[in-house]
Structure formats: C-alpha cells, structure tokens
C-alpha cells in the first residue's frame, strides 16, 4: 500500500473568479496553485516535452511500414558526334519498398514505448515539483510576513523601553547606563527589522516568479491546527515505497531500458536487412532508332538482401559507445536510488523534528511570555534591570518566530516526504488549504 501522510480536512476545490467588494480577500494556497498551473513556464515546458515524445512511436512504426515514392524526370540530349541529333528523354516511376527484416527498427519501436513512459514520468516529476515550489514559496512568504510583524512589534517594544529609560533618567530614577542599554536594544531591533524586510521582499519575488503576479494578501495558517504524525510511522516503509515509485528513480530505470535497446540496435548492425521492392517505370526516349529511341514500361519485383561486411569500423564503434552509455545509465540509476533513499529519510526526520519543535516552541512561547510579564513587574519595583527586560523581550519574540517557522516547516517537510514516493497530489494542497484562515 502506498505510503502517505494523513492530512486533515476535505479537498478544497478552488473556483476562479471574484466578486467586486471593498474588502480585499486573501489568496489561499489553492488559488495560488491554480495561478501557477496557468503561468508556470517549467510545467508548460514539461507538458510540451510530453506531447513531443508521443510522436516517437508513430515515427518508429512508420519505418516498418511500406514506403511509396513517385518520381519523374525529363532531360534534353544534344548528340554531336558521328550522327548529330537532339532529342528528349522523359519518364516516371512508382516504387514501393516494404521492410521484411529490419531488426534495428523493431528495437526502435520497442524503445519508443519506453521513451513515452519516461516522458510521462518527467511530467509527473514536474507536476510534483510545481506543487513543492508553490507550497515553499507560499509558506516561506507567510513565515517572512509573520517575522516582519514580530520584528515590528519588537522594535516598538524596544522603543517604549527607551522612552521609559529616558523618562526615568530625567527624574533621577535611573542611571545613564540604562538609557544606553535601551538604545542598544532598539538599534539591534531596527537592524534586525531591516534584514527581515529584505528577506520578505526576496520571498515575494520568489512567489511572483511562479505565478506571474503577487497577491495582495495571503491566507494564514490557523492557530488551532493539529499536526498529525506521518502514516506509516516507519521511515523504512517510506524508503521502500520511494525506491519503487519516485518519478526520478523510474525515469532512471527507464533510461537503463532505453540504453539496453540502444546497445541491441548497435549489435543489430551486423545482421542482414531484407526488403521487398516493387517498381513500375515508364520511359519515353524520343531519339531515332540509331540511338535506341524507344517508349517502354517496366515492372520489377524483387527481394533485396544486404549484409554489411565492412563499414570502416562504424558498427564496432557504435557497440562500444552504447556499452558505455548503458554503464552510465546504470550508474545514474544507482545514484538516483541513493539520493531518494537519503532524501526520504531526511524528509521523514524533518517531519518528526518539526512535530517535536512545535511542541517545544509552543511551551517555550508560554514560558517566554510569563517571564516577560514577571520581568516587567520586577522592573517596576526595581528588582530587575533594563538588561533583564530587553533580554526577556528578545526571548519572547524569538520564541514566536521559532514556533512560526516550525509550524510552517512541518507542512513543507510533509510535502517533501510525499513527493519522495511520488504520491504528492493537488488534493494534499487542498487538505492543507483547510487549515488556512483568510
């Protein structure tokens, strides 16, 4: 049974279109995905490649079918010696060539089927890659937006602490050091806000690159979300499924099959070829009888057999080339399987780690908020210093950022895990879409 991550919620079906309203509605994950389907050049390129690959079969089959050719010619002859004479020769011919034995062409037809399946797997890989890119761009931007809000709130909090320090210094209730500490805290918060703002703009451009535009607002991840464990909860079962079903592994496996047929085609160069040839020709020679002028029609039926004896080493060279190509394809398959094995285990651990971090950072946020409140109270009665307050403020906002990153990281890790075994689908985005709040 194919491994998968259980996702809460019912598949969300996005319907295009909007109603004019004074309220700006947030774009959700599915609407961004629908926009990406229309505008992503990478997916369109993969779709075009799939359509192009479909033509390999009819082209390979055509090489086994009869070839019928009609030809005509007309020439003028000026005979100057002995008996000078000018005359014309005209004619036409109809030829049919039916391959009877062309083993390399039969192998090409078999190879074409593998190429079509390979193009389908490439398109599947591109589709899953789009799902991952959309989810990554969407949730990375959400994290940047939340970090920006946390940074702005931290800057405001540090500015308030600086104002309090100045007021206390003015009435003699504080020393100059406290003002410097508060100013340092504000400077650090402002510098951090600038860096986060730049990161937010970078992530906006990443989303714009995929969908061609930028939504005014994104639906955000709700607070009351239960994050499930991977199903099955065994990493090795995921690895086994991924080694069998991952699109890139399947592409590499098909490439080995294609390389084997290419080698067989090279060996077929030693075999004879057999063709049936039927021909009907008409010739009208206007020369005098002295020059064998005649009007005639000719019918020919023959079986032509050709056996290559020596082609300058071409066939042997092709064999060596395809042997090397086959070895390369097998090594690429081994590499793909190893990469998928590592990637699946990494993604599984990332999901488990995110779940543990969500729990830990959630508790850390509660503790940081409690610490901040008691520190502010202690500062009022002079049992805590300005440094204590600034540190508590930083810890609180850092806990918020860490929890936000872990929550969004869980979703991306879950998608990555499903993509490794080739089961990631738009329905998975639809399930996560139910967790979003506009």
> What's the pLDDT tens digit per position in 282-306?
988 887 666 566 788 999 999 999 9
Give the up-direction half-sphere exposure of residue 17: CA atoms within 13 A in the CB hemisphere.
3
Residue pLDDT, tens place only, 13-62: 222 333 333 333 458 899 999 999 988 889 999 999 999 999 999 999 99
pLDDT for residue 286: 80
Decide if pLDDT at 429 tops 90: yes
Helix axes 386-420, 314-380, angle to 10 degrees: 150
Structure confidence at residue 264 as a pLDDT band (50, 70, 90)? very high
* Cα atoms in the Cβ-side hemisphere of radius 13 Å centred on 23: 4
Mean pLDDT score across all residues of the chain: 87
pLDDT digits (tens, 9 = 90+) for 362-418: 999 999 999 989 988 887 777 677 778 778 888 888 898 899 999 999 999 999 999
pLDDT at 291: 58
Looking at the DSSP bridge assignments, the partners of residue 74 are 90
pLDDT digits (tens, 9 = 90+) for 308-325: 999 999 999 999 999 999
Look up the domain containing 85 and give its range: 67-101+273-306
pLDDT at 4 over 80: no
Residue 39 phi, psi dihedral angles, 5° rounding: -115, -10
Cα–Cα dist 111/262, whole Å: 8
Task: Decide if 423 contacts 4 (C-beta within 8 A).
Answer: yes
At residue 26, the pLDDT reads 56
Task: Please choose, from the candidates 371, 373, 386, the residue with its C-alpha nearest in 3D space to the C-alpha of residue 161.
Answer: 386
Question: Does an H or E element contain 247, and which?
Answer: helix 247-267
Same domain, 207 and 288: no
Contact 418, 120 (CB under 8 A): no
Asked whether residue 320 falls in the same domain as residue 369, the answer is yes
Residue that the structure tokens 């033509």 belong to? 55
Q: Are residues 130 and 255 in the same domain?
A: yes
In the chain, the N- to C-terminal Cα span, in Å, equals 36
Q: What share of the chain has pLDDT > 90, as a percent?
A: 64
Residues 78 and 182 in one domain: no
Same domain, 325 and 384: yes
> Is there a contact between 210 and 133 (Cβ–Cβ < 8 Å)?
yes
pLDDT at 263: 96
Note the Cα 158 to chain centre separation in Å: 44
Question: Would you call the peptide bond into 226 cis, given omega within 30 degrees of 0 as the criterion?
Answer: no
Cα(316)–Cα(36) distance, rounded to whole angstroms? 49
| CATH number of the domain to which 311 belongs | 1.20.1600.10
- Chain segment 323-350, per-residue pLDDT in tens: 999 999 999 999 999 999 999 999 999 9
Q: 241 with 219, same domain? A: yes
Same domain, 290 and 220: no
For 310, the token pair is 């020596």
Lookup: tokens for 288: 């005098």
> What percent of the chain stands above pLDDT 70?
91
Number of neighbours of residue 261 by Cβ within 10 angstroms: 23
Banded pLDDT at 94 (limits 50, 70, 90): very high
Say which residue the tokens 């491994």 belong to: 3
Q: Which of 251, 282, 306 is the last residue of a domain?
A: 306
> Are 75 and 219 within one domain?
no
- Decide: 225 and 435 in contact? Cβ < 8 Å: yes
Q: Are residues 174 and 290 in the same domain?
A: no
Domain harbouring 88, CATH code: 2.20.200
Whether 436 contacts 220, CB under 8 Å: yes
Residue 248 dihedral angles phi and psi, to the nearest 5°: -70, -35
Q: What is the pLDDT of residues 196-217, one digit of tens each?
A: 999 999 999 999 988 888 888 8
Q: What is the 3-state secondary structure (H, E, C) of 106-163?
A: HHHHHHHHHHHHHHHHHHHHHHHHHHHHHHHHHHHHHHHHHHHHHHHHHHHHHHHHHH
Tell me the two tokens of residue 245.
């079903």
Same domain, 162 and 211: yes
pLDDT for 244 equals 94
Question: Nearest 10 degrees: CA dihedral of 102, 108, 113, 114?
Answer: 140
Whether 282 and 386 map to the same domain: the answer is: no
- Quick one: pLDDT at residue 3? 42
For 96-122, what is the mean pLDDT? 95
Question: Within 13 Å of residue 207, how many CA atoms lie on the same side as its CB?
Answer: 27
Domain count of the chain? 2
Give the pLDDT band of residue 8 (cuts 50, 70, 90): very low
Q: What are phi and psi of 246, to 5 degrees?
A: -60, 130
Residue pair 124/102 in contact (Cβ under 8 Å)? The answer is: no
């Amino acid at each position: 049974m194919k491994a998968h991550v259980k996702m809460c919620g019912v598949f969300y079906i996005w319907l295009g279109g909007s109603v004019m309203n004074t309220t700006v509605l947030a774009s959700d994950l599915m609407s961004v995905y629908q926009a990406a389907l229309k505008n992503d050049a990478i997916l369109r390129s993969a779709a075009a490649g799939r359509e192009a690959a479909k033509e390999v079969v009819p082209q390979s089959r055509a090489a086994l079918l009869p070839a019928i050719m009609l030809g005509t010619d007309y020439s003028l002859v000026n005979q100057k010696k002995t008996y000078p004479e000018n005359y014309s020769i005209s004619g036409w011919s109809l030829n049919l060539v039916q391959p009877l034995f062309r083993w390399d062409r039969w192998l090409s037809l078999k190879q074409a089927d593998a190429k079509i399946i390979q193009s389908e797997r490439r398109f599947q890989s591109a589709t899953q890659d789009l799902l991952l890119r959309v989810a990554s761009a969407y949730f990375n931007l959400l994290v940047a937006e939340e970090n920006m809000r946390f940074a702005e709130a931290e800057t405001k909090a540090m500015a308030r602490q600086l104002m309090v320090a100045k007021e206390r210094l003015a009435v003699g209730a504080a020393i100059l050091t406290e003002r410097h500490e508060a100013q340092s805290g504000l400077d650090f918060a402002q510098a951090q806000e600038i860096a986060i703002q730049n990161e937010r703009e970078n992530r906006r451009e990443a989303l714009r690159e995929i969908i061609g535009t930028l939504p005014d607002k994104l639906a955000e991840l709700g607070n009351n979300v239960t994050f499930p464990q991977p199903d099955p909860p065994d990493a090795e079962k995921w690895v086994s499924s991924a080694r069998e079903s991952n699109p890139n592994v399947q592409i590499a496996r098909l490439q080995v099959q294609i390389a084997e047929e290419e080698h067989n085609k090279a060996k077929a160069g030693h075999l004879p070829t057999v063709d049936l040839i039927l021909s009907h020709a008409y010739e009208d020679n206007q020369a005098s009888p002295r020059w064998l002028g005649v009007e005639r029609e000719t019918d020919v039926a023959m079986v032509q057999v050709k056996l290559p004896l020596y082609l300058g080493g071409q066939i042997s060279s092709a064999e060596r080339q395809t042997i090397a190509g086959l070895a390369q394809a097998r090594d690429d398959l081994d590499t793909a399987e190893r990469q998928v094995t590592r990637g699946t285990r990494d993604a599984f651990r990332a999901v488990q780690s995110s779940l543990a971090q969500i729990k830990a950072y959630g508790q850390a946020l509660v503790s940081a908020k409690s610490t901040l409140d008691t520190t502010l109270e202690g500062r009022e009665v002079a049992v805590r210093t300005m440094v204590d307050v600034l540190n508590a403020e930083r810890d609180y906002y850092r806990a918020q950022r860490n929890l936000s990153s872990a929550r969004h990281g869980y979703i991306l890790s879950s998608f990555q895990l499903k993509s490794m075994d080739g089961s990631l689908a738009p329905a998975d985005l639809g399930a996560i879409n139910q967790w979003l709040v506009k």
